[in-house]
Homo-oligomer: A and B are copies of this chain.
Amino acid sequence: MPLIIENLSKHITLTPQEQELFLSKIEIKQYKAKTILLNAGEICATSYFVNSGVLRSFNINDNIVEHVLSFACSGWWIGDMYSLLSQKPGNLFIQVIEDAEVVLLSKENQEILYQEIPKLERFFRILIENSLVAYQERLMDNLSLTAEERFEKFCSKHHDLIQKVPQKQIASYLGVTPEFFSKMKSKLLRK
């Protein structure tokens, strides 16, 4: 069974016909590492679901500093929610970190699917609810934990990513500089 159908079935049950319909509305693509799927300033018209490999979303502020908003590996969705919803130019880049196979669902087809399979409204509501809870927790962590505590939490939650993602990007995700991250890491290893 395709990974994405398995993913849907975590929250809703689709009939075989509905599964067919869903699969007919998506596109699957292979991308090499470093490929940019979405540039800041563009209008995001697609949701991305990762079959394999790793992606990230990030922005670049005027100081030319990158800030990683999220990583996505096998079984995760990623996109620029702001731009996708508002259909205005966003400020996120979406980039492949490790060679990836990605499912593309256009906003257009997503709306069609909402009409044809109303249950999907429920699926995406739950997906976004969970995402919201995760971002709320991450925000509170950034307000209340030290960099070291955030790193330990990240390790226990996303151990799989640590090998696959350049550590400067993990630093950025945690909100510290690569230099400080390096120092912190070697301090933790010495323990």
The closest CB in chain B to the CB of A57 belongs to B136
Chain B residues with CB under 8 A of A121: 118, 121-122, 125
Once the chains bind, are B139 and A135 in contact (CB under 8 Å)? Answer: yes
Chain B residues with CB under 8 A of A139: 69, 135, 138-139, 142
Once the chains bind, are A140 and B59 in contact (CB under 8 Å)? Answer: yes
Copies of chain A in the complex: 2
SS class, residues of chain A in contact with chain B: helix
A132 at interface, CB cutoff 8 A: yes
A175 at interface, CB cutoff 8 A: yes
A130 at interface, CB cutoff 8 A: yes
Once the chains bind, are B133 and A81 in contact (CB under 8 Å)? Answer: yes
A85 at interface, CB cutoff 8 A: yes
